[in-house]
Amino acid sequence: MTIQKLLIANRGEIAVRIIRAARELGIATVQVYSKADKDSLAVRLADESIEIGPPQASKSYLNQATILAAARTTGADAIHPGYGFLAENAEFAAAVEAAGLIFVGPTAQSIRLMGDKVAAREAAAAAGVPTVPGSAGRLDSADAAFALVEKTGFPVMIKAAAGGGGRGIRIARSAEEFHHLMPQAQAEALAAFGDGGLYVEKLIEGARHIEVQILGDGRDVIHCFERECSLQRRRQKVWEEAPSPSLAPAVRDRLCSSAVALARAVDYRGAGTLEYLYDDRSHEFYFLEMNTRIQVEHPVTEMVTGIDLVCEMIRIAGGEPLRIRQDQVRVRGHSIEVRINAEDPAKGFLPSPGTISALSVPAGEGVRFDSMLYQGYTVPPFYDSLLGKLIVHDKDRPSAIRRLQRALAELSVEGLATTKTLHQALARDPDVQAARFHTAWLEPWLETHAASLGTVAPSPTAKVAQ
């Protein structure tokens, strides 16, 4: 079934990204919006728009009934959930299909299976994919959890079985800490996801965060190689790149093959990402979880492979088989993405909503800026602070870092504080330039560099490690 009119059940830069992809495919678009987003760029760009409620996400972007009603009212025959909000909600995916509409994403069954971290670990183990040592299933009691920890040893991570985004996670380095943190993690998981189920896994210290992009049509699956996302603050990604600078070719082959094996095992349809921890000392990798949606950092994969992931997932949802064979996927050069958030890095990343009084966007070869911004736009305070993503591509990693430095110097977003200065400092840092980092590297770095992040960085003429 070919999609004729696509409703975007999201907002911000990902809504803009989906509208542009749909337009290139000749598909009409409908943008839903809350009262706070009536002047958004996505509303301006879409063929149609429809209000779905007040600023609170629970009463607008998370209101399934209202979104389905909007699709019926506008005559949309498909819904794209973007990322966040309802993107990984199995009940919503099922409701969309029950209403006779196309859900641009995997089946509800796949979302349900891979969205539960315990079930996903079990599926990974069954597919022969390595997992971090830990609980084989859900742990609903502290006694059962501690009995397991006594076998695995400390340190361990206590994690929510449902949800993501780093919520519900606690690190225990002793029995005393474990007994103190277990009920905290359970309460946070219950509050955030409505599910207090937990699991426990061994903490792999100094590990890198590597993820593999896959595309499937429900019958066949290919990978589009990997991304490195190790630079994180509070388990939120800050800087992403492709390919990973830390993987040897043989490890890359094993990692990507394992991702394809797992996605095939669950008959995956659409775009998805399998996340891993990688120990570059032992060269071992461990499956973490699967994100059954498009990722914020998908552009770096697009830049190095030339594959438009959003267009492909729309085509697949419309009933087309995979158009790309695995042997046609090649990596060319290196790409880096940095997230430009409305936050002040010099003040503990304090949120900084406001009006864009002036905007200058970088351009030139190998530079892309995916954003929701325009001059005069007022960034609302109700949602995620992501304003846009600055993506660069060049022949190799040192060249890409130099191009990033140049693009950051050209980027100007006036009227509010942004994380631009953070990325300028990271791009100059010798450890970042040499790719000497891991998932716990950034937070100690921030403690020693925070005071300098409120100043405008000098012109990007500093040498980058070759």
Distance between CA 246 and CA 277 in Å, rounded? 12
Please check whether residue 81 lies inside any domain of the structure.
Answer: yes
Helix%, strand%, coil% for the chain, nearest 5: 35, 25, 35
Q: Which two tokens stand for residue 190?
A: 């219950």
pLDDT of residue 1: 61
Same domain, 441 and 318: yes
Same domain, 93 and 139: no
- Cβ 156 vs Cβ 199: under 8 Å: no
Domain span at 397: 208-454
293 is catalytic: yes
Same domain, 194 and 212: no
- Cβ 91 vs Cβ 97: under 8 Å: no
Same domain, 374 and 433: yes
Nearest to 263 by CA among 220, 230, 302: 220
Same domain, 272 and 215: yes
Residue 294, Cβ neighbours under 10 Å: how many?
25
202, 223, 242: which is the final residue of a domain? 202
Catalytic residue among 17, 293, 315, 339: 293
Report the chain's terminal Cα–Cα distance, integer Å. Answer: 50
Distances (CA, A) of 267 to 123, 200, 260, 309: 12, 27, 10, 18
154, 175, 202: which is the final residue of a domain? 202
Q: Diameter of the chain by CA atoms? A: 60
pLDDT of residue 463: 45
Please check whether residue 110 lies inside any domain of the structure.
Answer: no
Q: 221-233 and 236-242 as β-strands: parallel, antiparallel, unpaired?
A: antiparallel
Please check whether residue 113 lies inside any domain of the structure.
Answer: no
Please check whether residue 466 lies inside any domain of the structure.
Answer: no
pLDDT per residue, tens digit, the chain (466 aa), is 689 999 999 999 999 999 999 999 999 999 999 999 999 999 999 999 999 999 999 999 999 999 999 999 999 999 999 999 999 999 999 999 999 999 999 999 999 999 887 789 889 999 999 998 888 777 777 788 888 888 888 999 888 877 665 666 889 999 899 988 888 888 887 877 778 778 888 888 899 999 999 999 999 999 999 999 999 999 899 999 999 999 999 999 999 999 999 999 999 999 999 999 999 999 999 999 999 999 999 999 999 999 999 999 999 999 999 999 999 999 999 999 999 999 999 999 999 999 999 999 999 999 999 999 999 999 999 999 999 999 999 999 999 999 999 999 999 999 999 999 999 999 999 999 999 999 999 999 999 998 889 754 443 444 444 4
Same domain, 187 and 223: no
Same domain, 153 and 83: no
Distance between CA 265 and CA 127 in Å, rounded? 7
Same domain, 225 and 195: no
Phi, psi (degrees; rounded to nearest 5) at 269:
-125, 130
Same domain, 139 and 75: no
CATH number at residue 56: 3.40.50.20
